[in-house]
Every structure is written in structure tokens, then in C-alpha cells.
Structure 1
Amino acid sequence: MACMNCETDGGGCGSGCSCSSSLPLKATGAASCLCIKCKDGVPAITVGNQTEPMCASCLYVSLLSKFKTAVNNHGLITPSDNVLVAVSGGPASRVAVEMLKEIRSKAQSDADASKDGTMKVFRLGVVYVDEATVLRLPESEAEAAVNSIKEMYDGIPVHTVELDCVYGTDGLPSDEDGDSASSKLKLTKLFESVKDMTGKEDMLELLRMQAIQTVAQISGYTKVVLALTATRIAAKVIAATTKGQGYSLPAFIQYLDGRWPIPVVLPLRDCVARELALHCHIAKLTTIFVRGLTTMADPRSSLNNLAHHFITLLQEENPSREHTIVRTAAKLTSFSFNAEVVPPSRRRRNPRNHDKGGGKSELSPEFLCSICRAPLQSSDMSPQTETTVGNGRDSSGNYADMKSTCCPSCLFQIFPEDGVQAEEKYLLFPDSTRKASTSTFSQRQKWMRSQIQDYLLPEETSGLFEYQLLFLTTMKLLLNLHTTSIYPWISRQLLNDVY
């Protein structure tokens, strides 16, 4: 997919895209220089690593080196893994698959040459999510894209799945025509109910990931590779900042993301989209273009699209700014699910590089947004929870659970409704999303109760009501918790115990 419309491809575009990252342009002045790597009279065709004139072969070596460094130094893929690459037909995912095939081929040669024959080689497959229902693509265009993907990755397992598979029972896609039609109708209504274009893009990204995870779990894969480039991640950093997602920003820019049942890895985080597109053009690697939600739309149509165009303007002035944005954001404290699994031998050689992650989870568990899976702050869940329970409504298992466990961005862009409209929209979400909201709400209640369990008076204590009111007053005065989420929660829980 093109530009910002393909999160799984890291901003890589197909051959029909008109954005600057997909054009095989030569860098200014590169054609008159010699390759800095070869030094034997080979003319440079581009500027790699922001400042180094390179020829075609050295450009690929540079990209492959970055890819291998990310995989090896951060323990992203091990010989025992089954790797599933999410593809869209664009240059980023195309190059990622080619590099994994090359690494796998060398590993297979080493395994065949080993005397004991015990060396393992990771398994490789690709998945393509058909989003024609949401994008309103003609059936012929959608089928052509699927067939092109199968031809493009001939020789390795190719899984194609429609986006509405997320409505399957127990995570399994439905094969019956009636169920399929019902799922497509639900999916269409869900996207029609989201009025904000930024919300539509974020919802599409979430459902796409759920579909990828479904395929990975059913087929026995242990790692999911997303071809997110530095270009795409830089745009996500800018967009997330404007949406007020600064707290959760470190979660999705690390090399490893363990929020999902199958861990997600980003081996192309240090590569820029333009270099990958140029390599595809030089190596004549086939790519396809599938239009997205904001293809050829005004840059101001969504925050995501605006952030992408902003990054495009920055890289035209100074190509290194993409890396600068990513490196700066990567310095933020990550979460425990971003911790890298590094072999003991590599940890001993360089212990400082692998002693990161988990800094934000030492004091409390990490609760995730029911919709976008972004980590939540304590204050993010308090307003809706207080209002819902304060009105005497049981929020267990209904839309109130989801609204009380959503991040502010999703509440504003995806799920702003209240009352009957909210209840109707709640039923349009996949079962997995609704179950996640109920589970998160219940886990948070249990955790908060465990935090104050030692301070609660036993039920058999005489004069319980008066003592508990005295306790609440003391907590409010001494701890000054009346402006946080824990005081109203304690009040409700203790009053519920009394009545």
C-alpha cells in the first residue's frame, strides 16, 4: 500500500504511488561522485546513510548490514523461530522478505554443512490482509492484488486473509457465506460510525494487526515482522505526539513489541523508505500499489497524513532528520513488553545495551487501551469509570468497560459516543476487542483493591460504616488523593461493601 495507508509496510509504496519515497531519484550531486565504499571508479547513484555516495551494490550491502545488525544485536529472530512477514506489496516489505530469504539461505547452507546436523533454521512465511471491504475496492482490483502477492512471493508460504476475519468465532475465520456477509456488514458499519479520518486510519491499523495475529496463531508462527522504516516511525512519532499519546509513544517504536500474543519485531527500523524504494527499482524487484484511505487526499485530511507530509518536507531539507527523530524518541523509557530477548553470551559481551525496558512497570502493571492497545496512565481510566458507576449502572461486560479503558485519543477519534449510540457501536467491535476491555477493567479493579487491602477494615468490625467514612476522610486529607482516580474508586468500593 501507499505511503501512510500501509502501516504494515512502514511507509513503503507500490510502483503506482506518486509519493517521493517511491521514486528512484538520484541524490543531488551523487551522479558526479564515486562510490565511497568501492573506491575503484564505480560511479555513485545515490547518497546512502545521509552523507555517503554509494553504488547500487554497496547500497544493498548497507541495507542488509543494518537489517542483520538489528536482528542479531536485539535478538529479534532466532533459529528456532517461525517468522511471519506482514506484506502489502510495497518496497519495504518486499526488501524485508528478500533479506530474510538471503539470511535463511545462508543458515540452511551452514546447517547442511554441519557435521552433527542439529543446527536449526527459522521458517519463513508471509501474510497479506485484503482490506477491500473497508477501502471499497472493486472485486477485480482486490483479486488482482492478491494474485500479484502470490506470484511475488512464489516459493514460500503465502497467507491471504480478509480484514473481516477478526469477527470469526474464537479467532478462526468463518467460511460460511452467511457469517462472512454478516462480518463484512459489521466491519462496514463500524468504519461508517467513525467520523474522524484519523480514527479510521487508526482503527484500520488495529484490525489489520488483529488479522495478522489471527493468522500467526493459527499457523504456528512465533514472530511477526513488520516492515516499518525510520520514515514511517518518524511520522508515527509526530502523529502520536499531536494525538496526546506521549506516554505510550515508546511502546511502538522499539525493535520488539510484546503487547500481542505473537511478538512483533521491526528489523527495518534503521532504514529509510527512499533507500528501500531505490533498491527495488535498481534490482527490478516487483512491487504493487493498492490505494488506501487517504491516497491522493489533501495532506490535512488526517493527522497521520499530515505527519507523513511533514516528514517528507523535512527529509528533502535534511535526510538525517528521520533518524534524529527516531533516535530521540527511542531514548524515552520503554515498557516491560519491549524488553529484548538476548542470548547470555551477547549479554555478557555488552551488558549495558540490554539492560533496558520495564522502567515504567516497576510500580504498577501495564494496562492497555481496549482499542489501540496503547499503554494507559492511571488517570486515563478514571473519568469514565467514575461517571459510569456513579450513575448506578453496572459497567461489567458492556460498552462502559470499553470507554473506561480507552486512551483519550481513541475516546475522541473512534469512540466519542455516549448512551444508546455508544451501546450500538460497542456491539460492532470484534469480540476480541470487547473481551479485552472487560478483562482490562477487571484487572485494574483487582490491582487497585490489592493496593489498599491492608488498610480496609474487616466486614465483621462493628460500626463499619462510621469507621470507613473516617478512613476515607483521613485518606483524603493526608494523601491528598481527591484529584486522582484512586479516591473516588475507594469511595465507591467501600460504600458498595456497606450496602
Structure 2
Amino acid sequence: MSGKHLPKEIAAAGQICRRCRAAEAFLVVRTEPLCRDCFIKYVHTKVIKRMESFRVRFSAVDQSRKLLLPVSFGVSSLTLLHVLDQHLSKQKERTGRTGFELQLLFVDTSSVERASPEPQLVSLLKGQFPDHSCTSVFLSSIFEDESTDSEADFREYLPAVAQADAQPPSAEQRLEHLMKSLPSATARSDVMSVLRTRLIAKIAEEKGCEGILWGDCTTRLAEKTLAETAKGRGFSLPWQVIDGDSPYGIAFNYPLRDLLKKELTAYADMANPPFSSLIHRSPGSGQLSVSSKHTTIDDLMKQYFESVEENYPSIVANVVRTTSKLQAPPSQRTDQFCRLCNMPVTNGKFGIHGWGGDQQDSTDALPELSGNGLCYGCARSLPQVTAL
């Protein structure tokens, strides 16, 4: 992609790279003109600095450290995969081994999401990154677990599927029925995201991974900060946007947290070998629906921050830096967890009661939403019948 096709905010025609002082700048990164090579190095450095604890010297020769990388076929997760693939290749060239190995995972939501990536992209991904194990699973497989652990099982809160015969409903039918029962586009998006996270964490544990590498960049983390707060799950931010242990019993890591989405988009256009053909661009992406009925909180936050980062990237970065200062409360054995999102709920403040602010005045009219094992955010997303 030539400089003339770049947005005017990052075009750098006629300037000299501020780092190497030799080549013509290709784009301006947060006021700093960079050439192609220095920009690629800039992206790699930002990512690898976040992977310091997984260097070769910290791994045993006879022990392979596994990390799960969920691939959504968006520019962020593919950029992360591309950077780490090249990093591991260089590690192997220098030392004969790597500090960790990647397990790739794609969660197929095509049964309940029309704009989901095409299945053939998985085959293309395996062909371009053959050194990494890649697994594809359907989102509905979250319902196939036969575990009866009452503390972890969320399925008792989901609506029953009407059946014409005695055969139990399939996992696909349960997922489809659940999505149709949800009251709004925001609720469907929220529950689908929660189920996807639960499934990814479950598979990471089954594969013996010690952590999950999420492809959330600065822009995405800022979006999530405001979106989760608006949905009533602000208390969970220390586990959703910060590196470290999670309530799922596995570490969450965000290696792209210092990079803006527009920087990842520019990287994808110049990466070698190229991977832009793998990026899934859903129809109408970046545009809000003309009907508010089909617009989600996540859509609003995405549009807002992607527009802000063009001219005011420091605002986006400040949101993430401020959120990063949050600290999770000390874990206690008496902590209770939301049955759906698995986030700790302190002092038994389940449902609307305890987290609804001024809405607490009306909780007497909705006693069924109190003490139901769901946090405030999940109680608002699930239909009332499922929260009984």
C-alpha cells in the first residue's frame, strides 16, 4: 500500500524516518515519522516486550510451554499470530528451540451469527502457519460438557427447548434457542461473547496451556472498558483488560495492548509474508445499523474509539492506562462467582440487587432477579425467565 492511500493523519510524504535517519518515512506513528522497516520493528518490539516472561531462558529444555491464541480472523489476532510466528522462527534459528509453542483456536459462530468468518479461512490459516497446531470448534460445543459441577454449571439458567419427541435437544438447538430468546441485540452480543470466552478458557485448560494470548489492541481494550461498564460489568475490568490470572483459572495476556488498531491495519498491509487475504471483513463493518434495535453497546463503543484514535490517539491510550491501574480484590475462599460469566461477585451481590444503583428501589418488584447466581450484567442480558 502506497503512502497516498493512507489516511492523511498518518501519511508521511516527504519526511525522513526519525529513527534510522536514512529512509523516507512511510507513515507517522503518534507524531513520529517512520519508514517501513522501522515501523515493522516498532510493532514487533511492542509485542515482544509483553512476552518477556516466555523467553527461551525461562523455559526448560525438556518442557514445552503452551499458549493458546484464539483467532477471530480480525486484523488484531492475525497480526499477533504473524508477529509471534516470526519471533518463534528467530528463536529457533538462534537457540535451536523456542520459549513456548502456540495452539491456535477458532470458535465458529456461524450457526447464530450471519457475519461470522467463512470456514475455508481455517484451511488457509493452517496452510500459511503450518508450524502451529490449529483447532476449530463450534460455539455450541459449550453445551456438550456433561459436567454436573453445580458451582460452574450455568445451563440451568437457560430456557428449555421445546421438543416434539423424547430426544434431548442438541447443542446447536440449545444455542440457537438461547440466542432467539434474548431480548436485544446487545444481550445477544454480550452472551455470545461470554460463552466464547468460557469455551476458549475450557479448551485452553484441556490442552494444558498456561495462558491465553488475546488479540485485543489498545483500541479494543478501550472499547471493552466502556462497553463492559455500560453493561453493568465494570467490576470485572481488572480481569478483562489487565495481564494476569483470571477467574477461569488460567492467565490472560494482551500482547497488543500498546498498539492502536490503525497501526495494526497499516502493519497488515505491509507484512511479509502477507496475511491480509485471511482478514475477515464483514459486510457493513464499521457502520452502525440505521435501526437502533440492531445496534449494540459494543458497536457504539467500537465506532467511537475508532474515530477518536484517528486524531486523538492519546485519549484512547489514556483510557487503557487508567484502567490498567485497577486492582482485583484479594481472592478469598468465600468468593462467589457468576454462573454465566464466571466473574467474582463479592458479598453475595447477585442479580440487580446490590449492583443496580438507583434501580435498587424497584428490586422488590423483581425478587426473582436477586440471589440467582448471576452478576448484575448477566442478569440484565438474560431474559427474565432464564434468571429464575
TM-score (norm 2): 0.78
Give the deviation of 1:245 after TM superposition: 3.0
Asked if the contact 1:128–1:159 (Cα under 8 Å) also holds between the matched residues in 2, the reply is yes
List runs of 5+ in structure 2 lacking aligned partners: 148-165, 355-367
- Corresponding residue for residue 328 of structure 1: 322
Q: Which of residues 126, 130, 136 is equivalent to 1:160? A: 136
Cα distance in 2 for partners of 1:179, 1:261 equals 35
- Please say which structure displays the higher CA radius of gyration: 1
How many residue pairs match? The answer is 342
- Corresponding residue for residue 74 of structure 2: 90
Asked if the contact 1:87–1:128 (Cα under 8 Å) also holds between the matched residues in 2, the reply is yes
Matched, 1:222 2:201: no
- Corresponding residue for residue 44 of structure 1: 25
- Corresponding residue for residue 32 of structure 1: 14
Q: Which of residues 227, 232, 255 is equivalent to 2:220? A: 232
- Corresponding residue for residue 303 of structure 2: 309
- Corresponding residue for residue 161 of structure 2: none
- Corresponding residue for residue 99 of structure 2: 121
Cα distance in 1 for partners of 2:285, 2:343 equals 23
Give the deviation of 1:105 after TM superposition: 2.3
- Corresponding residue for residue 370 of structure 1: 339
Asked if the contact 1:403–1:411 (Cα under 8 Å) also holds between the matched residues in 2, the reply is no
1:290-301 matched pairs, under 5 angstroms: 291=282, 296-298=287-289, 300=292, 301=295
1:268-287 matched pairs, under 5 angstroms: 268-283=256-271, 284-286=274-276, 287=278
Asked if the contact 1:380–1:405 (Cα under 8 Å) also holds between the matched residues in 2, the reply is no
Asked if the contact 2:286–2:303 (Cα under 8 Å) also holds between the matched residues in 1, the reply is no
Give the deviation of 1:170 after TM superposition: 4.0
Percent of aligned pairs with the same amino acid:
23
Q: Give the direction of change, closer, same or farther, for the CA distance of 1:292–1:239 in structure 2 (3 Å limit).
A: farther
Give the deviation of 1:158 after TM superposition: 0.9
Asked if the contact 1:202–1:372 (Cα under 8 Å) also holds between the matched residues in 2, the reply is no
Q: Give the direction of change, closer, same or farther, for the CA distance of 1:125–1:368 in structure 2 (3 Å limit).
A: same
* 1:71 counterpart letter in structure 2: M
Asked if the contact 2:78–2:279 (Cα under 8 Å) also holds between the matched residues in 1, the reply is no
List runs of 5+ in structure 1 lacking aligned partners: 1-22, 113-118, 172-177, 336-359, 386-399, 424-499
Asked if the contact 1:111–1:121 (Cα under 8 Å) also holds between the matched residues in 2, the reply is no
1:9-408 matched pairs, under 5 angstroms: 25=7, 27-28=9-10, 30-40=12-22, 42-48=23-29, 50-72=30-52, 79=59, 80-112=64-96, 121-136=99-114, 142-170=118-146, 182-283=170-271, 284-286=274-276, 287-289=278-280, 291=282, 296-298=287-289, 300=292, 301-332=295-326, 334-335=327-328, 360-361=329-330, 365-378=334-347, 380-381=349-350, 404-408=372-376
Q: Give the direction of change, closer, same or farther, for the CA distance of 1:241–1:58 in structure 2 (3 Å limit).
A: same
Q: Secondary structure at the match of 2:130?
A: coil
* 1:54 counterpart letter in structure 2: L
* 1:125 counterpart letter in structure 2: Q
Asked if the contact 1:314–1:321 (Cα under 8 Å) also holds between the matched residues in 2, the reply is yes
Give the deviation of 1:231 after TM superposition: 0.4
Cα distance in 1 for partners of 2:115, 2:121 equals 11
Cα deviation digits, residues 198-221 of structure 1 (max 9, x gap): 121111111112222333233332
Q: Secondary structure at the match of 1:135?
A: coil
Structure with greater helix share of residues: 1
Cα distance in 2 for partners of 1:292, 1:122 equals 36
Asked if the contact 1:384–1:404 (Cα under 8 Å) also holds between the matched residues in 2, the reply is no
Asked if the contact 1:126–1:158 (Cα under 8 Å) also holds between the matched residues in 2, the reply is yes
Q: Give the direction of change, closer, same or farther, for the CA distance of 1:31–1:294 in structure 2 (3 Å limit).
A: closer
Q: Which of residues 363, 382, 386 is equivalent to 1:414? A: 382
Q: Secondary structure at the match of 2:9?
A: coil
Q: Give the direction of change, closer, same or farther, for the CA distance of 1:298–1:401 in structure 2 (3 Å limit).
A: closer
Asked if the contact 1:74–1:255 (Cα under 8 Å) also holds between the matched residues in 2, the reply is no
Q: Give the direction of change, closer, same or farther, for the CA distance of 1:28–1:60 in structure 2 (3 Å limit).
A: closer
Cα distance in 2 for partners of 1:312, 1:383 equals 32
Cα distance in 1 for partners of 2:317, 2:352 equals 37
Cα distance in 1 for partners of 2:255, 2:335 equals 25
Give the deviation of 1:323 after TM superposition: 0.8
Q: Give the direction of change, closer, same or farther, for the CA distance of 1:82–1:170 in structure 2 (3 Å limit).
A: farther
Q: Give the direction of change, closer, same or farther, for the CA distance of 1:170–1:121 in structure 2 (3 Å limit).
A: farther
Asked if the contact 1:125–1:158 (Cα under 8 Å) also holds between the matched residues in 2, the reply is yes
Q: Secondary structure at the match of 2:337?
A: coil
Cα deviation digits, residues 158-211 of structure 1 (max 9, x gap): 11111111111347xxxxxx9997110100001111112112111111111222
Cα distance in 2 for partners of 1:319, 1:47 equals 12
Q: Give the direction of change, closer, same or farther, for the CA distance of 1:259–1:324 in structure 2 (3 Å limit).
A: same
Instruction: Give me the CA root mean square deviation.
Output: 3.2
Q: Secondary structure at the match of 2:76?
A: helix
Q: Secondary structure at the match of 2:234?
A: coil
1:454-465 matched pairs, under 5 angstroms: none
Q: Give the direction of change, closer, same or farther, for the CA distance of 1:100–1:203 in structure 2 (3 Å limit).
A: same
- Corresponding residue for residue 361 of structure 2: none
* 1:169 counterpart letter in structure 2: D
- Corresponding residue for residue 151 of structure 2: none
Give the deviation of 1:33 after TM superposition: 1.4
